[in-house]
């Protein structure tokens, strides 16, 4: 008996639906799929028309290049010029939440790499993503599956809310495990530059390669850094629990604001309409974007979010929070 278990274009990641998704990709269509970080909006990275559909569906600026999702190192070598540094990182962290920028081979269309002479490569660690790459037999270009500028999506429902009919199929494997996007590094030189912090922390990278000092010019090497990002529709205010900036709570009336953080807000505050306390930076990271999406419809006029300590996953969280509040974007 045929069981129709579709919910609109959201389907479970059965072998049959993964085959259907692979066929859609081969035909130039768009498929949203889960990775261990966030959901991706995928298309055939080698088909310029399919890739153009990603930009149109997201409303993404054309100057922002896409990540190629590949099955592993030998696949990566078809699209990028690997060197000792990039191979070291691939052996250490793939499959996983590390995107590695290397010189591009000519087979990668210009639209995919937004005209740069480099390409970003990642082998994801999620059985559905891995199976989709294998079944389709192609590198899958996939940015996060959200409208450009919005928080990334960590559930299939959020993908449907943001992109709905613009996606041919959404493979639903439940909420993603990490919740923030991959770490992006530039491995074209001897010293590796961290372009976007993520779950693979600077401390972990430094065990294998030399890391370039953080400087102002770094952000220009990753076009995505120059765009506003991750923002919910209500303003986000940042609270530094150690920094003595408790004054920001004085302007917030009872029930007018929501709170996210690792520690409770000061006892002197008027009560928020909702208070979410996380047990660890990892849990904060996993829940952040889903909380943003939920709280923007809860009636609160402001979201106050605690800035976590600047180490490990805390560094990636601070980066996303600063961008969401508008203070990290340029």
**Could you please report the per-residue DSSP string of 64-79?**
S--EEE-SSHHHHHHH
| Site membership for ligand TXA, residue 201 (CB under 6 A) | no
Q: What is the largest CA-CA distance in the chain?
A: 64
Choose, by CB under 6 A, the member of 13, 65, 197, 314 that binds ligand TXA.
65
| Site membership for Mg ion, residue 144 (CB under 5 A) | yes
Task: Show the tokens assigned to 59.
Answer: 């409303």
Task: Show the tokens assigned to 211.
Answer: 């890391």
CB under 5 to 8 A by kind: which of ligand TXA, Mg ion, none does 40 bind? ligand TXA
Cα R_g (the chain), whole angstroms? 20
Choose, by CB under 6 A, the member of 13, 96, 139, 224 that binds ligand TXA.
224
CA–CA separation, 150 and 309 (whole Å): 24
| Site membership for ligand TXA, residue 328 (CB under 6 A) | no
> Nearest-CB residue to Mg ion?
144
Contact between 69 and 129 under an 8 Å Cβ cutoff? The reply is yes
In the complex, least distance from residue 169 CB atom to ligand TXA, rounded to whole angstroms: 16
Q: Please state at what angle helix 15-26 crosses helix 127-136, rounded to 10 degrees.
A: 50
CA–CA separation, 116 and 64 (whole Å): 10
Mask: binding to ligand TXA, 11-40, rule CB under 6 A, as x and -? ------------------------x-xx-x
Instruction: Provide the CA 148 distance to its chain's centre, in angstroms.
Output: 12
| Site membership for ligand TXA, residue 54 (CB under 6 A) | no
Task: Show the tokens assigned to 77.
Answer: 């070598």
Choose, by CB under 6 A, the member of 181, 278, 307, 315 that binds ligand TXA.
181
Q: Which stretch binds Mg ion (CB under 5 A): 140-148, 199-207, 232-240, 294-302?
A: 140-148
Total residues contacting Mg ion (rule CB under 5 A)? 1
| Region of residue 72 (phi > 0: left; psi between -120 and 50: alpha; otherwise: beta) | left
| Site membership for ligand TXA, residue 122 (CB under 6 A) | yes
For ligand TXA, give the closer residue by CB, 124 or 314.
Answer: 124
CB under 5 to 8 A by kind: which of Mg ion, ligand TXA, none does 318 bind? none
Query: What is the DSSP secondary structure assignment for residue 227, as one 8-state letter?
Result: S
CB under 5 to 8 A by kind: which of Mg ion, ligand TXA, none does 116 bind? ligand TXA
> Nearest-CB residue to ligand TXA?
224
CA–CA separation, 275 and 294 (whole Å): 12
What is the separation, in whole angstroms, between the first and last Cα of the chain? 56
CA–CA separation, 233 and 237 (whole Å): 13
Total residues contacting ligand TXA (rule CB under 6 A)? 29
In the complex, least distance from residue 21 CB atom to ligand TXA, rounded to whole angstroms: 15
Choose, by CB under 6 A, the member of 25, 51, 100, 119 that binds ligand TXA.
119
For ligand TXA, give the closer residue by CB, 265 or 293.
Answer: 293
CA–CA separation, 261 and 288 (whole Å): 10
CB under 5 to 8 A by kind: which of ligand TXA, Mg ion, none does 118 bind? ligand TXA
In the complex, least distance from residue 60 CB atom to Mg ion, rounded to whole angstroms: 8
| Site membership for ligand TXA, residue 222 (CB under 6 A) | yes
For residue 134, the number of C-alpha atoms closer than 13 Å in the C-beta half-sphere is 11
CA geometry: angle at 324 spanning 274 and 297, to 5°? 40
Give the interface with ligand TXA as residue ranges (CB under 6 A). 35, 37-38, 40, 64-67, 99, 101, 113, 116, 118-120, 122, 124, 142-144, 181-182, 184, 195-196, 221-224
């Amino acid at each position: 008996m045929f069981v129709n278990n579709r919910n609109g274009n959201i389907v479970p990641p059965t072998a049959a639906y993964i085959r259907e998704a692979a066929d859609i990709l081969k035909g130039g269509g768009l498929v949203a799929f889960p990775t261990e970080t966030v959901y991706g909006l995928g298309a055939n990275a080698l088909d310029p028309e399919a890739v153009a559909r990603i930009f149109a569906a997201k409303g993404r600026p054309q100057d922002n290049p896409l990540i190629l999702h590949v099955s592993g190192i030998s696949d990566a070598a078809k699209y990028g010029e690997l060197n000792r540094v990039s191979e070291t990182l691939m052996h250490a962290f793939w499959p996983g939440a590390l995107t590695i920028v290397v010189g591009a081979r000519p087979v990668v269309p210009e639209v995919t790499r937004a005209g740069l002479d480099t390409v970003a490569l990642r082998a994801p660690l999620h059985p559905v993503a891995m199976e989709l790459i294998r079944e389709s037999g192609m590198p899958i270009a996939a940015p996060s599956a959200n409208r450009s500028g919005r928080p990334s999506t960590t559930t299939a429902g959020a993908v449907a809310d943001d992109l709905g009919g613009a996606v041919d199929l959404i493979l639903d494997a439940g909420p993603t495990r990490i919740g923030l996007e991959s770490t992006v590094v530039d491995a074209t030189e001897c010293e590796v530059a961290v372009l976007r912090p993520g779950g693979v922390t600077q401390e972990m990278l430094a065990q294998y390669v030399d890391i370039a000092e953080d400087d102002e010019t770094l952000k220009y090497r990753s076009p995505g850094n120059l765009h506003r990002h991750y923002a919910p529709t209500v303003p986000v205010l940042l609270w530094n629990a150690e920094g003595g900036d408790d004054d920001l709570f004085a302007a917030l009336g009872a029930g007018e604001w929501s709170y996210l953080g690792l520690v409770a807000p000061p006892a002197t505050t008027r009560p928020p309409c909702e208070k979410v306390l996380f047990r660890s930076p990892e849990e904060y990271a996993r829940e952040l974007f889903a909380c943003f999406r939920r709280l923007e419809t809860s009636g609160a006029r402001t979201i106050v979010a605690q800035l976590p300590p600047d180490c490990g996953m805390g560094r990636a969280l601070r980066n996303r929070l600063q961008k969401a509040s508008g203070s990290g974007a340029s």
